[in-house]
């Protein structure tokens, strides 16, 4: 069991992705935290870092429920949750440029990873949030999920999955403002970050605008520290600027 003295605990879902791993490493170096749970489909070790607690999942509903219960039970003061799941391209799918390119199977994968799974994790963690009143929860969204900001079109599945994620988070923020006052929810756009997800699309990125995962992890950590629990969902980019819905 974690939680000696007044120590805090954190959970990173997708803790072996490019951004998730950087967030978990950064939290593990933060003296406030004595346990940082990282959840991934990959088996991993704590890399000798004492407070890293790797957990393996297949993201089935059963696994999400069991692991959430374990984390909540063994974390007396869970103050950070970062959900960093997402996919843009993979075996047989990628961002669609035209309506004709839409395929049911790839849409289902993209919706599942970007929207369904993050919301299922939030759902499984919800009962514990009431007992952790100063918990800050960030879910990795993307600016391209903004309907108001969409001037280019394309990327149908990814854009609409992130827009649906944002709506789910909005509902959650309204519910949590009643059920778990003090919990802060954030939909976070990290900018273009040098990870496997963005790798095929990095060519047009202006100089200085392709961020390292470590830079983004620092930015997110600062924003989570700064933002008061106001019962609202913040949709923010890496610079702390609000993104239109």
Binding site for ligand NAP (CB under 6 A): 14, 16-20, 40-42, 59, 84-87, 113, 140, 142, 189-190, 192-193, 195-198
Nearer of residues 72 and 193 to ligand NAP, judged by Cβ: 193
Residue whose tokens read 């593990």: 28
DSSP 144: G
| Minimum CB–partner distance for residue 221 and ligand NAP (Å) | 15
Nearer of residues 29 and 212 to ligand NAP, judged by Cβ: 212
Nearer of residues 29 and 202 to ligand NAP, judged by Cβ: 202
Give yes or no for a contact between 14 and 29, defined as CB atoms under 8 angstroms apart.
Answer: no
Closest CA to 135 of 76, 56, 55, 50: 76
Nearer of residues 9 and 195 to ligand NAP, judged by Cβ: 195
Give yes or no for a contact between 143 and 192, defined as CB atoms under 8 angstroms apart.
Answer: no
Residue burial 122-149, b: 16+ Cβ < 10 Å; e: rest: bebbbebbeebeebbbbbbbbbbbbeee
Nearer of residues 19 and 233 to ligand NAP, judged by Cβ: 19
| Minimum CB–partner distance for residue 133 and ligand NAP (Å) | 26
| Minimum CB–partner distance for residue 228 and ligand NAP (Å) | 24
| Minimum CB–partner distance for residue 73 and ligand NAP (Å) | 23
Which residues have CB under 8 Å from 201's CB, separation 6+? 88, 95, 192
| Minimum CB–partner distance for residue 233 and ligand NAP (Å) | 16
């Amino acid at each position: 069991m974690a939680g000696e003295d007044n120590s805090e605990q954190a959970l990173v879902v997708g803790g072996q992705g490019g951004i998730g791993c950087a967030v978990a490493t950064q939290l593990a170096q933060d003296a406030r935290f004595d346990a940082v749970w990282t959840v991934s489909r990959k088996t991993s070790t704590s890399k000798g870092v004492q407070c890293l607690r790797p957990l393996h999942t297949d993201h089935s509903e059963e696994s999400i429920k069991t692991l959430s219960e374990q984390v909540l039970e063994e974390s007396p003061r869970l103050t950070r949750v970062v959900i960093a799941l997402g996919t843009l391209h993979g075996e047989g799918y990628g961002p669609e440029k035209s309506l004709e390119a839409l395929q049911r199977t790839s849409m289902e994968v993209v919706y599942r990873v970007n929207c369904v799974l993050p919301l299922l994790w939030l759902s499984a963690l919800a009962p514990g949030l009431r007992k952790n009143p100063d918990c800050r929860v960030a879910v990795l969204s993307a600016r391209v999920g903004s309907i108001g900001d969409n001037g280019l079109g394309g990327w149908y599945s990814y854009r609409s999955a992130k827009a649906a994620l944002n709506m789910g988070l909005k509902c959650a923020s309204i519910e949590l403002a009643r059920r778990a006052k003090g919990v802060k929810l954030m939909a976070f756009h990290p900018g273009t970050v040098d990870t496997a997800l963005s790798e095929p699309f990095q060519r047009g990125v202006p100089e200085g605008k392709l961020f390292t995962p470590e830079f983004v992890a620092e930015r997110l950590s600062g924003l989570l520290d700064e933002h008061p629990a106001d019962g609202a969902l913040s949709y923010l980019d890496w610079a702390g600027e609000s993104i239109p819905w």
